[in-house]
Amino acid sequence: VITLYGVSGPNVAKSRASLLSKKLAFEHVGVDLINQSDEFRRLTPIGRIPVISDGGLVVHDSLFIAEYLDRQYPDLTQLLPENLALRVKAYTIFALLERLFTIASPIVAMSLGFFDVVDPTRAACSGYYRTTDSLRVKLKSNLADKIQSLADLLGEETYFTGQSSMQADFAVFAFMTLLGEIGIGAGPLDAWVNERKSEFPFSEMFATADVAVSRVI
Ligand SMILES: N[C@@H](CCC(=O)N[C@@H](CS)C(=O)NCC(=O)O)C(=O)O
């Protein structure tokens, strides 16, 4: 059985979506990111979630996890397109989201009050740092530009990289949902996010409180 390390958060949600989309059985192990255990340190030199382990192989980062799952389980729903142009488009979306996440991090940290619980010298989620009100105004405008670029990449299509939902869609949905939770919203992608909400696996990609967690490391 596959183990997914990490339960909550947008990055873990992306890998939950990968596993759900492929209809692979998996178990959850929770991770205490603030006080990282020796077991977690031994598991991963990266120190971030999501991580999966599958038959002794340990894979880090939601994108690499998706690529691994496509290679290991090629007969199940594809997460990344075979078509090279579409795959490159997916890479562009992941890179754009990485930037978007870095830009949004101080705003996310501020609204979730993470500075109270996290040592600010350690990035809890891609680089939280303190900001001023005026810097946050600039960050929000930069964020709006990035979201517009994503909306342009979607165009009039239903999905970002093909005729069905794939990893790029899960990644966009995860971050746009996070922006919604902190009151920023997805702007031009709001309607797209709303349409996806009730659709599998988007509807189940964020773990709910009743999800079974076998243990916490
Ligand atoms: N690019 C990575 C990002 C993973 C990531 O930033 N994970 C955060 C949780 S949201 C984390 O584990 N942070 C712990 C740390 O940086 O110390 C992915 O897509 O998997």
Measured in Å, residue 61 CA sits from the centre of ligand 1 at: 8
Instruction: Report H helices in the chain.
Output: 10-21, 38-43, 62-72, 84-112, 133-154, 167-181, 190-196
Of 21, 38, 40, 22, nearest in space to 30 by CA: 40
pLDDT of residue 136: 82
pLDDT of residue 16: 98
Q: Is 21 helix (H, G, I), strand (E, B) or coil?
A: helix
Measured in Å, residue 184 CA sits from the centre of ligand 1 at: 21
pLDDT of residue 36: 87
Q: Residue 137, CB half-sphere, CA atoms under 13 Å: how many?
A: 2
Q: d(Cα 178, Cα 157) in Å, to the nearest integer?
A: 22
Query: Other C-beta atoms within 10 Å of 133: how many?
Result: 7
Q: d(Cα 10, Cα 50) in Å, to the nearest integer?
A: 10
Q: d(Cα 144, Cα 215) in Å, to the nearest integer?
A: 39
- Mean pLDDT for back-to-back runs of 10 residues, the chain (217 residues): 94 97 97 90 92 97 98 97 98 95 81 58 53 84 95 98 98 95 92 98 96 93
Pocket test for ligand 1, best of 18, 49, 129, 173 (most atoms within 8 A of CB): 49
pLDDT of residue 113: 66
pLDDT of residue 128: 58
First to last CA, the chain: 18
Residue reference for tokens 């078509």: 83
pLDDT of residue 37: 94
For 139-171, the DSSP string reads: HHHHHHHHHHHHHHHHTT-SSSSSSS--HHHHH
Q: d(Cα 107, Cα 196) in Å, to the nearest integer?
A: 25
The answer for 126, left when phi > 0, alpha when psi is -120 to 50, beta otherwise, is left
Q: Which residues line ligand 1 (CB under 6 A)?
A: 9, 11, 33, 47-50, 61-63, 122-126
178 CB burial (10 A radius; 0-12, 13-18, 19+): buried
